[in-house]
């Protein structure tokens, strides 16, 4: 019934219709501005939206075609220039050509047609070549490779494979009993199927290769990139330097990768600038995006302009380099930028030092550039701030904050949580006591990303996002100040930010710094205090060489300690001397902590003054304690502190033997984002800790971070760090282990993930274990035979099962050349501070396919803190193809290499040439991974080790008990091929039997997986391999042989010398002379054959080659040779000499047969084709050619009597024989084997030609397009 149906329908719809959606959307949470006061500031001062401010975005590059990055709010170009400072986009265009008939042959070999409308008065074109994948971001490269395979390769290849299989099936169905010829025919069909399957597995897309042209039109430099890859330049974009007219183009409709260009070195270097990742565009959009039709999507400062500087090197997966950073600061100063945003950073071994940090400090202090940087994403433990954001005095480090509106809009959480700091946001203090985090800002946004991502916007979070949010807020301040003619200094701005920031309750100072940036309040502060005499002053506050007081270990807290503090005013670079003379500040010093005793006042003039502060930590409870000594101007106390001295004390808990070295927390309640920190004094003798965490909640699953850090002097926090993100199910549990350093304070942090909803209760236990090895690092010399080490259980009963595993072998290299030179204008700082480079070249042979890691021990693991501004290595194959690159962190850049010869080029840069000269003999190491780890035999007593019996098993050691162990040498046949004296094997010694103990022994550090800490590292030093007797019983042979007369020896030596020089002199004089004197000497006729076969006019002497080969063959008694080789044993005393002679005869016979066969095959191929690599039908050939074919066939079967066709000596003949007989599948098989043995261009061309003969044009096309990439003319530039 209709009515019934309506009732049922309404019943079905009613639950859906009950909650009608809200038609509004919380846009304010997508790119937060309300929380920082930026929204209220803009509503009050809409014209102070960043206008007149230039922000340098130092990042992965910015896409000029991304949404919101075209113009500013007042109609100016949003991006004034786009610069790649890394060198990854550089193209060597030093080759100069003039067109002939309007055409140029590009480096790729393509013909490039010059459009008639191009203006080039000199007619000089600088040409170069760029592999597209060198500038593609990794995700784009993977997408294009996938699309290309699915759309271009797979359909054609599947068809070819199906056709080949069909032919094979048809042959098998029509042939049962096969003749010899039919067997070869079937082998040909089978080989075609195998080759197609092999090419499917080995498919490799080397990427596009772009010919590049650079020329001067009489006014400016122009460039064109042949994105068509066809030489059709009329359809390619012609660009000028981006700064001239903001021109850019796209590499293609599929790629959607926008690029711009810059020309350097008078046209000899073209830089193709493309974003290396989405990160930089997202950052720029947060800071200054402008959407005139959708203002809710605007960045924080839509009126600001951007200088886009790419410092993330595409060759290194967008890792920053010293070269990129120093060049970036040169450009920042050149363009007179007001602000820098730097959403990058790394852990540093020592803060506030190094070449890069010095250049940053100079830009800030001498050029008034405000440098804003991310604090790092390495929390929640303390002292995890990165460099430069959290460790450099002149940089404003920004932490990441998440607001309730962000939780709803960006993350779509089911419920709003209280405002919090992200769990991963790095925390201070810095290792030298500085606070580390200056301010905080929203650390997430949905903002624009590059077009190549095929999306308009994307959610990203990190201090990378909080930094541009704060940077945009500062741009608003500067815009207002400039509009009102109010001068400022970096010190004035920083003081305003820190003194007006909003502190959030329940967020510790180490996470949020001085609080969340408040743009409106900071602007009021700046205006109100703009006339203060101290407004532009800065202050250096040091405790020795530290920037704060940080007492972390218990031995520093046993009694009160006095600390001398130096306070010095810092004037702006261009301050007049009268200001310095007139400075007289009356400072009030305050501190709110009872455990600090400091002076109450300080009179400060233009001089460094010293005060003394007493710290008395006695009675402080376990945990972290923080306070500041603040200095106020007594004439303006409401302006807030002029300077601050941070003081941090972590009071650790002692872990006693009475508790079994365990700490148990039975019922701990965690809310979302809640963090519990434990500071523990690691017991003496402890080497690892185990933690077990169990959920007590039956209805809530939750996410936790387990994080532990110990600090050592002049070592980054990552050196002794453990990090684990875990998902804890209802009533679930998890156990982890990590190494520890005894006597050092350990911070162990359990943090509930900020977005993990619901409350949960957990139980956790932290226990310490100790097994010590003496020596602490094991060095084994193979010559020792047996090496001893002792194991001590330090704390409790422990099960010990020593295992030594060798995982790689290390090869040390010295440079084969070293060249220094001054760099160009791109690398010159203000005041003509010139940088120099040294390029060191190394070579090594890879004995088999494998994985290698290159590192420079003197310089690696140092970036910001390094005294050298940059290090970069590039590894090339024997054809100069770039295989990979690496920098300061070698473990990120493992390369898989095929067997062959390789060259490494290492660039190091410094301001002083003399410092580079010291590196002329700098060694580097190549670490070769051993596919299957090698284990050394371990015994528990010397006697068993000596006779190799009864290896050590599990032992239980009581506390304080020591057990010696003995390691024997590795058998010689286990030594990896290629390793020898001067090399060593590297690995680890694990002592504990328990799985957790083993896990701690090889604990991977942190989420990046960059660093590994092995509790006991092992180095096994190699010695020369044993001598092998090549000629058997030589002494017996000497007794049989009659001693030669000295004159006979001289005559033989003279004969052999003349034979060696026959080919070099290219004359018959020696041959005729020697033939008459030594008519039966086989090596003479072999040398004559080689001489003829290697001549330049070889094709004209085929008959002579065949005749010479027959001459060699006729002089070998093949019957005697076969009989001798078939003998299993030869009792004659001269057996070894005879065997050696027979092997030489066999080799000469095979060589002669192959050369004869190749000559015959070339004669036939030449007859049918001038190309020399194709074969036509031979049915209508002449008698001579038919004789050659018959002779060739006979030679083929003769060769098969003595060796296989896959023998490397026979491959060339096998390839040519297959070509003559139109067996192209076999020809391709042998051509590929030749290529594996000698990967040169000629062999690749042979493969391509055979692919075309087979009709596999897709294979030929892919391979042909890769030739220019596989065989570059020069090494890629740094």
Strand ranges in 912-954 using DSSP code E only, listed in sequence order? 924-936, 938-939
Contact 1215, 1231 (CB under 8 A): yes
Annotated catalytic residue, options 464, 479, 866, 1266: 464
d(CA 908, CA 917) in angstroms, rounded, equals 11
Question: Using CA atoms, how far apart are residues 429 and 436, in angstroms rounded to an integer?
Answer: 5
Dmax (CA) for the chain in angstroms is 127
Asked if 755 contacts 672 with a C-beta cutoff of 8 angstroms, the reply is yes
Q: Which helix (H) or strand (E) holds 1140?
A: helix 1135-1168
Of 126, 157, 216, 279, the active-site residue reads: 279
CA–CA dist 211, 213 (Å, integer):
7
Which of these is catalytic: 59, 63, 432, 887?
Answer: 59
Beta strands 675-681; 653-654: pairing state: parallel
**Residue 742 annotated in active site:** no
Q: Cis omega before residue 388 (within 30°)?
A: yes
Residue 311 tokens read as 């410092």
User: Which of 294, 349, 319 is CA-nearest to residue 138?
Assistant: 319
β-bridge partners, 477:
none
Q: Which of 402, 143, 122, 125 is nearest to 238 (CA)?
A: 125
Please name the residue that has the structure tokens 């743009």: 519
Joined tokens for residue 555: 């031995």
Phi-psi region of 673 (alpha: psi -120 to 50; beta: other; left: phi over 0): left
Looking at 132-234, which runs of residues are DSSP E strands? Answer: 209-216, 221-225
Which residues fall within 8 angstroms of residue 280, CB to CB, at 6 or more apart? 57, 59, 60, 61, 62, 308, 310, 312
Residue 1272 CB partners (closer than 8 Å, separation 6+): 129, 879, 880, 881, 882
How many angstroms separate the CA atoms of 199 and 216, rounded?
Answer: 45
- Which residues 6+ apart lie within 8 Å of 88 measured at CB? 134, 135, 276, 313, 314, 315, 316
* Cβ 264 vs Cβ 223: under 8 Å: no
Cβ contact 504:401 at 8 Å: yes
Q: Report the distance separating Cα 330 and Cα 826, nearest Å.
A: 8
* Ramachandran bin of 75, using left for φ above 0, alpha for ψ from -120 to 50, beta for the remaining angles: left
SS (H, E, C) 803-833: EEEEEEEEEEECCCEEEEEECCHHHEEHHHE
Exposed, middle or buried: residue 939 (CB in 10 Å: 0-12, 13-18, 19+)?
Answer: buried
Backbone φ and ψ for 1005, nearest 5 degrees, come out as: -95, 125
Type and span of the H or E element at 799: strand 798-813
Distance CA 623, CA 600 (A): 28
Give the dihedral sign, CA 542/545/546/549: negative
| Angle, alpha carbons 739-745-750 (nearest 5°) | 70
Cβ neighbours of residue 982 closer than 8 Å, sequence gap 6 or more = 811, 812, 1022
Reply yes or no on whether 586 is catalytic.
no
Q: In DSSP terms, which residues pair with 568 in a beta bridge?
A: 540
Q: Is 59 a catalytic residue?
A: yes
Question: Please, are residues 972 and 1022 in contact by the beta-carbon 8 Å criterion?
Answer: no
Report the catalytic residues: 59, 279, 464
């Amino acid at each position: 019934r209709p009515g019934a149906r309506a009732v049922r329908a309404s019943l079905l719809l009613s639950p859906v219709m009950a909650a009608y959606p809200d038609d509004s959307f919380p846009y304010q949470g997508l790119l937060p501005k309300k929380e920082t006061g930026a929204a209220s500031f803009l509503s009050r001062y809409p014209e102070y939206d960043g206008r007149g401010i230039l922000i340098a975005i130092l990042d992965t590059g910015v896409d000029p075609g991304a949404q919101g990055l075209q113009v500013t709010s007042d109609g100016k170009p949003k991006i004034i220039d786009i610069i790649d400072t890394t060198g990854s986009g550089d193209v060597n265009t030093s080759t100069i050509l003039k067109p002939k008939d309007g055409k140029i042959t590009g480096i790729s070999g393509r013909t490039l047609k010059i459009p008639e409308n191009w203006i080039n008065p000199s007619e000089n074109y600088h040409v170069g070549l760029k592999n597209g994948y060198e500038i593609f971001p990794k995700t784009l490269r993977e997408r294009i490779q996938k699309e290309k395979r699915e759309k271009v390769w797979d359909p054609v290849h599947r068809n070819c494979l199906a056709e080949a299989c069909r032919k094979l099936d048809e042959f098998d169905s029509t042939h049962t009993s096969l003749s010899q010829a039919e067997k070869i025919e079937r082998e040909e069909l089978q080989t075609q199927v195998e080759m197609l399957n092999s090419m499917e597995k080995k498919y490799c897309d080397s990427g596009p290769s772009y010919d590049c042209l650079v020329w001067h039109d009489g006014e400016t430099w122009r460039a064109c990139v042949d994105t068509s890859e066809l030489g059709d330049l009329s359809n390619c974009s012609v660009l000028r330097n981006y700064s001239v007219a903001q021109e850019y183009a796209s590499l293609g409709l599929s790629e959607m990768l926008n690029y711009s260009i810059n020309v350097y070195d008078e046209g000899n270097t073209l830089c193709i600038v493309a974003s290396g990742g989405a990160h930089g565009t997202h950052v720029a959009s947060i800071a200054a995006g402008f959407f005139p039709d959708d203002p809710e999507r605007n960045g924080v400062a839509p009126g600001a302009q951007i200088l886009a500087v790419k410092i993330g090197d595409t060759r290194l997966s967008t890792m920053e380099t010293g070269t990129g950073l120093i060049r970036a600061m040169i450009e920042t100063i050149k363009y007179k930028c007001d602000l820098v945003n730097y959403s990058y950073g790394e852990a540093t071994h020592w803060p506030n030092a190094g070449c890069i940090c010095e250049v940053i400090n100079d830009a800030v202090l001498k050029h008034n550039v405000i440098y804003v940087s991310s604090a790092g994403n390495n929390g929640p433990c303390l002292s995890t701030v990165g460099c430069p954001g959290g460790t450099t005095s002149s940089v404003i480090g920004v932490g990441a904050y998440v607001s309730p509106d962000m939780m709803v809009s960006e993350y779509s959480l089911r419920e709003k949580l209280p405002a919090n700091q992200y769990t991963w946001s790095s925390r201070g203090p810095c290792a030298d006591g500085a606070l580390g985090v200056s301010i905080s800002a929203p650390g997430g946004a949905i903002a624009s990303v590059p077009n190549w991502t095929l999306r308009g916007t994307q959610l990203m979070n990190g201090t990378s996002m909080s930094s541009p949010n704060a940077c945009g807020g500062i741009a608003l301040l500067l815009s207002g100040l400039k509009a009102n003619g109010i001068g400022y200094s970096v010190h004035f701005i920083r003081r305003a930010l820190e003194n007006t920031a909003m502190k959030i309750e329940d967020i510790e100072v180490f996470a949020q710094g001085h609080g969340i940036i408040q743009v409106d309040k900071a602007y009021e502060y700046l205006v109100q205090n703009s006339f203060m005499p101290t407004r532009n002053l800065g202050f250096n506050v040091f405790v020795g060489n530290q920037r704060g007081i940080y007492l972390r270990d218990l031995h520093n807290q046993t009694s009160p300690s006095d600390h001398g503090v130096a306070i010095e005013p810092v004037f702006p670079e261009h301050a007049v001397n009268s200001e310095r003379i007139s400075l007289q500040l009356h400072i009030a010093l305050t501190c709110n902590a009872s455990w600090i005793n400091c002076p109450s006042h300080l009179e400060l003039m233009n001089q460094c003054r010293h005060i003394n502060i007493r710290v008395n930590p006695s009675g402080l409870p376990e945990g972290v304690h923080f306070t500041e000594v603040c200095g106020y101007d007594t004439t303006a106390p409401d302006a807030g502190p002029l300077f601050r001295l941070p003081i941090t004390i972590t009071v650790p808990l002692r872990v006693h033997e009475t508790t079994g070295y365990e700490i148990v927390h039975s019922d701990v309640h965690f809310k979302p984002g809640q963090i519990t920190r434990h500071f523990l004094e690691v017991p003496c003798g402890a080497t690892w800790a185990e933690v077990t965490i169990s959920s007590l909640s039956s209805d809530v699953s939750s996410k936790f971070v387990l994080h532990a850090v110990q600090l050592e002097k002049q070592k980054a926090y990552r050196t002794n760090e453990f990090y684990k993100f875990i998902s804890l199910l209802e009533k679930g549990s998890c156990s982890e282990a990590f190494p520890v350093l005894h006597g050092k304070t350990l911070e162990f942090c359990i943090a509930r993930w900020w977005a993990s909803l619901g409350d949960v209760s957990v139980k956790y236990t932290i226990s310490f274990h100790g097994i010590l090895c003496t020596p602490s690092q094991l060095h084994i010399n193979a010559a020792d035979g047996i090496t001893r080490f002792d194991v001590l259980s330090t704390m409790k009963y422990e099960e010990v099962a020593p295992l030594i595993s060798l995982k790689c072998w290390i090869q040390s290299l010295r440079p084969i050349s070293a060249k220094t030179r001054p760099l160009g204008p791109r690398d010159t700082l203000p005041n003509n501070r010139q940088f120099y480079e040294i390029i060191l070249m190394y070579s090594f042979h890879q004995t088999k396919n494998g994985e290698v890691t290159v590192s420079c021990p003197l310089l690696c693991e140092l970036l910001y803190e390094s005294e050298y501004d940059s290090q970069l290595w590039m590894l090339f194959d024997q054809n100069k193809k770039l295989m990979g690159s690496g920098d300061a962190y070698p473990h990120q850049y493992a390369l898989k290499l095929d067997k062959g010869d390789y060259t490494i080029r290492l660039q190091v840069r410094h301001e002083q040439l003399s410092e580079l000269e010291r590196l002329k003999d700098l060694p580097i190491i190549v670490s070769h991974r051993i596919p299957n780890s090698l284990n050394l035999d371990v015994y528990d007593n010397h006697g068993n080790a000596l006779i190799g019996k009864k290896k050590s098993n599990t032992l239980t050691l009581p506390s304080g008990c020591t057990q010696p162990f003995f390691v024997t040498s590795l058998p010689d046949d286990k030594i990896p091929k290629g390793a020898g004296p001067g090399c060593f094997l590297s690995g680890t010694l694990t002592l504990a039997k328990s799985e957790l103990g083993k896990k701690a022994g090889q604990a991977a550090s942190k989420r990046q997986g960059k660093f590994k800490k092995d509790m006991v590292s092992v180095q096994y030093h190699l010695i020369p391999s044993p001598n092998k007797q090549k000629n058997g019983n030589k002494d017996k042979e000497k007794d049989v042989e009659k001693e030669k007369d000295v004159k006979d020896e001289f005559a033989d030596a003279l004969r052999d010398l003349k034979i060696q020089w026959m080919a070099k002199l290219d004359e018959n004089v020696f041959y005729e002379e020697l033939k008459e004197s030594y008519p039966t000497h086989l090596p003479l006729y072999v040398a004559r054959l080689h001489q003829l076969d290697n001549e330049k006019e070889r094709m004209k002497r085929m008959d002579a080659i065949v005749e010479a080969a027959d001459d060699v063959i006729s002089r070998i008694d093949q019957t005697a040779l076969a009989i001798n080789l078939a003998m299993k044993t030869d009792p004659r005393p001269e057996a070894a000499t005879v065997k050696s002679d027979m092997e030489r005869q066999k080799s000469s016979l095979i060589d002669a047969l192959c050369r004869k066969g190749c000559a015959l095959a070339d004669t036939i191929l030449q007859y049918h084709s001038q190309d020399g690599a194709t074969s036509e039908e031979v049915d209508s050939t002449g008698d001579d050619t038919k004789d050659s074919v018959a002779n060739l066939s006979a030679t083929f079967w003769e060769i098969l009597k003595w060796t296989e066709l896959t023998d490397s000596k026979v491959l060339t003949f096998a390839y040519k024989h297959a070509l003559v007989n139109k067996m192209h599948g076999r020809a391709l098989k042998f051509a590929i084997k030749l290529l594996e043995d000698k990967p040169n261009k000629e062999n690749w061309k042979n493969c391509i030609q055979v692919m075309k003969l087979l009709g596999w044009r897709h294979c030929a096309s892919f391979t042909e397009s890769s030739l220019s990439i596989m065989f570059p003319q020069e090494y890629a530039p740094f």
